[in-house]
Amino acid sequence: MDPKQAQMLREIQALEFVAVELTLYLDTHPGEQEPLNDYNTVAERLNQLKAHYERTYGPLAAYGSSPVEHRWRWIEEPWPWEVQY
Amino acid sequence: MWLYEKKLQYPVRVYNRDLRMAKFLMAQYGGPDSELSAAVRYLTQRYTMPTNKAKGLLTDIGTEELAHWEIIGTMIYRLLQGATPEQLRREGLGSYFALHDQAVYPADANGVPWTAAYIQATGDPVADLHENLAAEQKARATYERLIRLTDDPGVKDTLRFLREREVVHFQRFGEALNDVQEEMARKKIF
Ligand SMILES: [Fe+2]
């Protein structure tokens, strides 16, 4: 994987990790405002970054999660277990 | 339903082929306290949870465990990559090769296939959440042993990430258990 793509993927993984962590925390603390604000901040940045990544390197998810331009790139390499970081 | 994302939750970096380590990692791929057991356990138990916090948490942790299962599967796949039958045999994976070649099959480090007998769903939320607390601790302890079995800094790094997740899951399950017990106490009073 080219270093630029790997770098962007790393950023997405890091941001999404924060989103996962906040999701679990909010599941057991649904009334707290501060983690909810953090969740929204992360969600916005994550969506921007994913949209940018997908425009350049192809979709991260299928099933209609985002529109596909030109050709069907979903099945293109590398699959997650093939990525060299 | 589930939405698959074409990426790992955390990077897998494998610097050297290590066939024995691939075999040891099967503990967390198809063993009793593996990521597969965790995912199936939580996603099964959630139907009969009495509180929304517990239903949400079991759904979300169960989903994260599937992502961990993929990480372990990727590590095994990469650690085995390119090995010859002779090398596999020499490193103690001859019988694995005979049955599965280099497929990533859900068995434990001793080759015992995964079974639903490893998990329980009793319909009793207090019993189920206690099982989950124990399962997270057993998985943490397994990761600590696995970290001691490798010198590869890439493998160690990913295993440390997975170990930390077990600690967080344990914490959240404890909170869900308190919530369930409070809810049950409330119901008894009124
Ligand atoms: Fe876990």
Residues of B annotated as catalytic (active site), given as ranges: 35, 65, 68, 136, 166, 169
The CA dihedral of B177, B180, B186, B187, to the nearest 10 degrees, is -140
Q: Output the pLDDT for position B129.
A: 98
- pTM for this one? 0.97
Residues of A in contact with B10 (CB under 8 A): 13, 17
Q: What is the pLDDT of residue B109?
A: 96
CA of B139 to the centre of ligand 1 (A): 7
Residue of B nearest to A28 (CA): B53
Residue A35, token pair as written in the block: 């983690």
The answer to whether the beta carbons of residues B8 and A11 sit under 8 Å apart is no
CB contact under 8 A, B73 and A85: no
Torsion angle (degrees, nearest 10) of CA B90, B96, B99, B102? -90
Domain that residue A32 falls in: 3-82
Question: Is any Cβ of chain A less than 8 angstroms from the Cβ of B166?
Answer: no
Min Cα separation A79/chain B (Å): 7
Written as tens digits, the pLDDT of chain A (85 aa) is 899 999 999 999 999 999 999 999 999 999 999 999 999 999 999 999 999 999 999 999 999 988 888 899 999 999 999 999 8
How high is the pLDDT of residue A67? 85
Tell me which CATH code domain B19-106+123-185 carries: 1.20.1260.10
Does B73 contact chain A (CB < 8 Å)?
yes
pLDDT the model gives residue B190: 65
Find, among A71, A2, A26, A85, the residue nearest to B175 by Cα.
A26
Distance B177 CA to ligand 1 centre (A): 16
Distance in Å, CA B161 to ligand 1 centroid: 11
Split into its structural domains, chain A has a count of 1
Instruction: Say yes or no: B164 contacts chain A, CB-CB below 8 A.
Output: no
pLDDT tens for chain B, residues 1 to 190: 999 999 999 999 998 899 999 999 999 999 999 999 999 999 999 999 999 999 999 999 999 999 999 999 999 999 999 999 999 999 999 999 999 999 999 999 999 999 999 999 999 999 999 999 999 999 999 999 999 999 999 999 999 999 999 999 999 999 999 999 999 999 887 6
pLDDT of residue B188: 82
Would you mind telling me the total number of residues written for chain B in this entry?
A: 190
Amino acid identity of B142?
T
DSSP 8-state symbol, B119? -
Distance, in Å, from the CA atom of A41 to the CA atom of B122, rounded to the nearest integer, reads 39
The pLDDT of residue B189: 73
